[in-house]
Amino acid sequence: MACKAVIFDYIGTLINCRNYTMEASKLRLHNALATEGFDVAEAKFLDAYNAAHEKYRKVRYEQLREVTNAVWVSEALNNLGFEVTMDDCRIKTALSVFFQDFIDNLEIRKGAKKLIHQAKEQGKVGLISNFTYAPVIYASLRKLGINQFFNAIVVSEDMGWRKPHKRIFQEALRKLQVTAEETVYIGDSPLEDIEGAKTVGMKTIFVPSQFNSLQDLRGIKQQPDIIAENLQEVSENINKIITAKTN
């Protein structure tokens, strides 16, 4: 049957992140929390934060259950003697500060806008992103001026599951009202994107990025249907890919 939808991965595939350091953001998070009334020494906070982050990183990568940053920030603060929940508005304010540098350093990849436009002209367009704090994804899409092109956006924090779990792909298909066999998925992660999308039956295109190379692709059991050097190559062939019959 003919392809009716294209779904993109976001970070790495459509956008790059330049000149960003997590350590600097952690320090800004500590300062923001201090401003909100959580008076704790920087070193103690960072130790508690890193311990909580590592605890939930294992949950996220081993169980593929997404856990928002607010969970491990609140746990770190509770372990330091504060009484606070993940829904505390002070934590959300501090997380906005924490992620601002990340948003400011995002840039759209060469050829991405043209490719999104082409996909939109041919059918429905979706986006699936593994991210622990969904407001960052929506804010950055608006900042880059591409949010209006997507018929469906699924973020792991909202969904509760991370790629490559099949449920996050199935949710995107449900929102787009298409089947996996009618869908092409474009991503840069061999495991999260290519293996995940193929597991549910999508046709896949791998595009290397600043995070994943062609060498990284060799390590997975399932191979993409198409390997492209860059987004421009996908753009040159997207009409042919979309109009081709899927198996």
Query: How confident is the model over 86-96, as pLDDT tens digits?
Result: 999 999 999 99
Strand partners, 205: 186, 226
d(CA 100, CA 88): 19
pLDDT digits (tens, 9 = 90+) for 32-56: 999 999 999 999 999 999 999 999 9
In 145-222, where does DSSP find H-type helix? Answer: 156-159, 166-176, 196-199, 214-217
Percentage of the chain exceeding pLDDT 90: 90
What is the per-residue pLDDT across 89-139, written as a single tens digit (0 to 9) for each?
A: 999 999 999 999 999 999 999 999 999 999 999 899 999 999 999 999 999
Local confidence band at 233 (pLDDT 50, 70, 90 cut-offs):
very high
Q: How far apart are CA 11 and CA 188, in angstroms?
A: 9
Q: Which amino acid is at 154?
A: V
Homologous superfamily (CATH) for 5-17+107-243: HAD superfamily/HAD-like (3.40.50.1000)
Domain ranges across the chain:
5-17+107-243, 22-104
Strand partners, 184: 6, 203
Q: How far apart are alpha carbons 182 and 171 in whole angstroms? A: 15
Per-residue model confidence (pLDDT) at position 118: 93
Report whether pLDDT(220) > 70.
yes
Longest dimension (CA), the chain: 61
Question: CA dist 148 to 18, 91, 116, 132, 229, Å?
Answer: 24, 29, 11, 22, 27
pTM above 0.85, yes or no: yes
